[in-house]
Structure 1
Amino acid sequence: MKLLEGGRTGQIWRDGDSVIRPSGAWTPTVHRFLRHLRNRGFRGAPEPIAISAEGQEVVGYVAGRVCEDLSDPLVGSERMLISAARLLREFHSASEGFLESDGEIKAWMLPPQEPREIVCHADFVPYNVATVDHEAVGIIDFDTAHPAPRLWDLAYAVYRWAPLSDPANPAVAFDLDEQVRRAESSAPPMGRRSKNGAGFRI
């Protein structure tokens, strides 16, 4: 087995095509949700495999390079930004119907937010997205997934992918004008009108 770096250091391992990681009270719900995504044809999320008696979850490995640093030309490119926005929209479309169709008691790490339109990932950030050939192809770490409006994910994704930060910070990859431009570029492929008819706005 190989210890995976990042996240909960020392607690996440890869064993071939599987990932072994700690589970929580919410894990059974998350696994049912991941199965729902696969049944809807979405392959950009881990395949749920098992929850062990030792309190570990086993999921399929999502191949690709994780985005760590947006100053890297590969992960900070326009192509990557737009593909990440589209991936999020595809995920949201696939998540539809789970809250209505799943009849079991649901436990979530985070409290649901109203209106409960879909199940949001709630941590769609560069280090939770797998990339291949300048494209975002997969999403990992669904621990924080919970019912919420789409805007819950959209706003946080724009904040982290633009990213919206103080340009005076030397660690920030883009100046203010570029941050605004990236936010505006990502909004259309991410957005979708909510049930109350309100559009997504930056």
Structure 2
Amino acid sequence: MTAEGGAAQGEALNGGMVNAGAVFRRGSLVERPAPPTARALHSHLRALKEHGFDAAPTPVQLTTDGREQLTYIPGDVALPPFPRWVMTEAALSSVGSLLRRLHAASSAITVDTRAAWPQALADPEGGTMLCHNDVCPDNVVFRDGRATALIDFDQAAPGRPLWDVAMTARYWVPMLDPESAAALYPAAGLDVPKRLRLLADSYGLSPQQRAELPGVIEQATASCRAFVADRVADGDPVYTQVLSERGGWQRWDRVQEWLVAHREVFTTTLLD
């Protein structure tokens, strides 16, 4: 997130849609609405550090008014329309490597099965590892053109590592038809199959995972569409406005049709 202005409660941090206008920086701390799973999530974030992953915020405390305080991670966070520097191959590779580091630590941590982890963007097949589920440019901190930290774990839930890779690919490759991509990613002419292969290589996917990835990306896209549909049905003004500005449901139809039409190309490039 980026800082804007100064207020009594601190600097407002722009970025994200769910907590828009409700996240503030106060010196070395960030204060934001606490997710329902905050206690379990804070425990997980602390465990990540114990297992060598220092690229996530450290929980400080929960406040009595339903907010959480975490350490602020300095760096650059890209907001839409995404700048060219965030779409370089070096940036993409660093995101894949960072995600692999997260999963290496997460796989060693026992998931709290008592927590009501959010299901909207969760892997429908479930899993034994806590996935981030929302590694979009808004939630990755960069320094010197490379991804150095992940923020906003609000959508974290148990799932397969491949599901997290698929969700990440949606945003970072990006897995969008050219018309949809042009609205968010000004770096024209992105080679989608090549970039998907680059993400798979930097993460270190196995041949079996590479073969499965295009289909899982289609699943993840359907889950994201359902997530937006639920928000719009609930009257969320932010999601309703964004849906209208980005082509409505026709855009989602176009993206899903494009993914299916190019599935073979993606699979061939991943396995070549």
TM-score by length of 1: 0.88
Is 1:200 matched up with 2:213? no
Pairing 1:32–2:43 present: yes
1:189 correspondence with 2:190: no
Asked if the contact 1:29/1:106 (under 8 Å) is kept, the reply is yes
1:66 corresponds in structure 2 to 77
Alignment partners' CA distance in 1, 2:47 and 2:77: 24
More divergent stretch after superposition (132-141 vs 184-193): 184-193
Instruction: Give the Cα–Cα distance (whole angstroms) in 2 for the partners of residues 117 and 4 of structure 1.
Output: 33
CA distance in 2, matches of 1:174, 1:15: 34
TM-fit CA distance, 1:115: 4.4
Q: What is the number of equivalent residue pairs in this alignment? A: 197
Residues 28 and 71 (structure 1), Cα distance of their counterparts in 2 relative to 1, 3 Å cut: closer
Equivalent pair of 2:12/2:23 in contact (CA under 8 Å)? yes
Q: Which runs of 5+ in 2 are unaligned?
A: 1-9, 214-272
Q: Which residue of 2 aligns with 1:47?
A: 58
**Structure 2: which amino acid aligns with 1:200?**
R
Distance in 1 between the 2:61 and 2:157 partners? 20
C-alpha distance in 2 between matches for 1:3 and 1:142: 19
Once the two structures are TM-superposed, the CA of residue 11 in structure 1 deviates from its matched residue by 0.6
Query: 51-60 or 182-191, which moves further after superposition?
Result: 182-191
The residue aligned with 2:104 is 93
Task: Determine helix, strand or coil for the equivalent of 1:43.
Answer: coil
1:96 Cα deviation (Å)? Answer: 1.3
Q: Which runs of 5+ in 1 are unaligned?
A: none
Higher relative contact order (CA 8 A, sep 6+): 1
1:6 aligns with 2:19: no
| TM superposition shift of 1:151 | 1.1
Larger-gyration structure (1/2): 2
Q: Which residue of the partner structure matches residue 68 of structure 2?
A: 57
**Alpha-carbon deviations, 1:50-86, whole Å to 9, x = none?**
1111111111111111122575231111110100110
Provide the alpha-carbon RMSD of the alignment.
2.2
- Indicate if the aligned counterparts of 1:117 and 1:150 stay in contact, CA closer than 8 A: no
Shift of 1:134: 0.7
In the aligned structure 2, how far is the partner of 1:54 from the partner of 1:151? 37
Q: Quick check: 1:105 aligned with 2:118?
A: no
1:105-144 to 2 correspondence within 5 Å?
105-110=114-119, 113-144=124-155
Partner Cα distance (2:162, 2:138) in 1: 20
Secondary structure, counterpart of 2:91 in structure 1? helix
- Structure 2 contact 173–196 (Cα < 8 Å) conserved: yes
Cα offset for 1:109? 2.1
C-alpha contact 1:154 1:191 (8 A) present in aligned 2: no
Instruction: Report sequence identity in percent.
Output: 32
Assess if the C-alpha contact under 8 Å between 1:167 and 1:174 holds in 2. Answer: no
Amino acid at match of 2:210: F
Query: Deviation of residue 108 (structure 1)?
Result: 1.2
Q: Give, in whole Å, the separation in 1 of the partners of 2:71 and 2:189.
A: 39
SS class of match (2:142): strand
Look up the match of 1:180.
193
How far apart in 1 are the matches of 2:186 and 2:103?
Answer: 28
Given candidates 89, 92, 96, the residue that maps to 1:81 is: 92
Q: Is the 8 A contact 1:19 1:59 kept in 2?
A: yes
Distance 1:174 1:123 in 2: 22
